[in-house]
Amino acid sequence: MIIVTGAAGFIGSAMVRQLNDAGHLNLVVVDEFSRADKNRNLLNKAYIQKLDRADLFAWLERMHASVDFIFHLGARTDTTEQDTEIFDRLNLHYTQKLWEQCTQYNIPLVYASSAATYGLGELGYEDTHDIVTQLKPLNPYGRSKNDFDIWALQQEKTPPFWAGLKFFNVYGPNEYHKGRMASVIWHTYRQIKESGKMKLFRSHRPDFQDGQQSRDFIYVKDVLKVMYFLYKHQKDSGLYNLGTGQARSFLDLASNTFHAMGLEPTISFVDTPEDIRDTYQYFTEANMAKLQSIGYAEPFYSLEAGIEDYVKGYLLEGLGPKIF
């Protein structure tokens, strides 16, 4: 059987769909299942058991012989949260315990790291292991992810295969519960639907024009394909970037969302909120050579194609957001 943590969340629930579509029905889904808006993401998906995240370790002690693989996608992901204790408990210590059990019980592990580990990108965006201890994340969330990456690379005993995936800016269906932390595409769609207009953050740096702040936006369906590739591959353990390898501007993103909705763009600019202004990334772009070097050769959705599939396939249809 395969375990997916964070299974009611955005990427976790989408991974359950990916596994179901590939014929894997013998799944154990793990999360904190108190929110109905998140639990909706598991509708019409096949699994054999639901586990609260607090019960996973004791369950593994009893059932580890039946477990073939773990996708650890559960984490606290709020980049504005400043309480380091929350991140230490949920992102660092929880993942350390899971790593230790995967090592003890010989279970392969893929876990979610983050491009937030790169901070302002002073050292670039290469997923080489020798720069990990030098990275300077901009917030407690990014630090918790980098702290675990550092810890993992120091371990002499490891799972039989492991991969830490530095997710860049993931967007797509099943993110509807994330509120402020949902993707810019989701917020753009909502704002256009409500007002017919879109407001983007004004640049507060002289080297970037308004709207030209750029990120590596990756469609969740590409993320799923990479994770399934690693499940089948189970070689070449290490940290891997997971983006498209091409940065695109927020202006491109907004314009393409308007076009996918059949509308002409109407875009204006507002000041970046002060609580995130000092830690706002103006450019991210994944170097994807390492993943390609181990045999991953699938093309990634372009920003245009990804937005069109997301908007037309999941947002415009029916009476509300469609679950993937």
Report yes or no: 50 and 246 within 8 Å, Cβ to Cβ: no
Q: Within this chain, do residues 277 and 291 fall inside the same structural domain, yes or no?
A: no
Q: Is residue 322 situated within a structural domain?
A: no
Helix axes 220-233, 303-310, angle to 10 degrees: 100
- 86-110 per-position pLDDT tens digit: 887 888 999 999 999 999 999 999 9
* In a shared domain, residues 96 and 222: yes
For the chain, give the percent of residues with pLDDT over 70.
Answer: 98
Task: Count up the domains in the chain and report the number.
Answer: 2
If you average pLDDT over residues 211-231, what whole number do you get? 98
Q: Tell me what pLDDT residue 312 has.
A: 94
Clarify whether residues 10 and 47 are in a common domain: yes
Q: Residue 84 sits in which domain range? A: 2-171+217-245+285-300
In this structure, the answer to whether residues 209 and 75 fall within a common structural domain is no
Exposure pattern of 174-204 as b/e (b: 16+ CB <10 Å)? Answer: bbbbbeeebbbbbbbbebbeeeeebebbebe
Please answer whether residues 230 and 211 qualify as being in contact, where contact means their C-beta atoms are separated by less than 8 angstroms. Answer: no
Q: Is residue 88 part of a domain?
A: yes
Phi, psi of 47 (to 5 degrees): -160, 165
Are 18 and 120 in the same domain? Answer: yes
Q: What is the CATH number of the domain that holds 206?
A: 3.90.25
Residues 126-145, mean pLDDT to the nearest whole number: 95
Distance CA(114)–CA(297), nearest Å, equals: 22
Mean pLDDT of 55-75: 97
> Catalytic residue positions?
141, 178
Give the lowest-confidence range in 195-204, 274-283, 305-314: 274-283
- Residue 234: which of 52, 107, 112 has the closest Cα? 107
Q: What's the pLDDT score for residue 319?
A: 57
Do the bridges between strand 109-114 and strand 198-201 make them parallel or antiparallel, or are there none, so unpaired?
unpaired
Is there a single domain that holds both residue 36 and residue 93? yes
Enter the pTM of the model.
Answer: 0.95
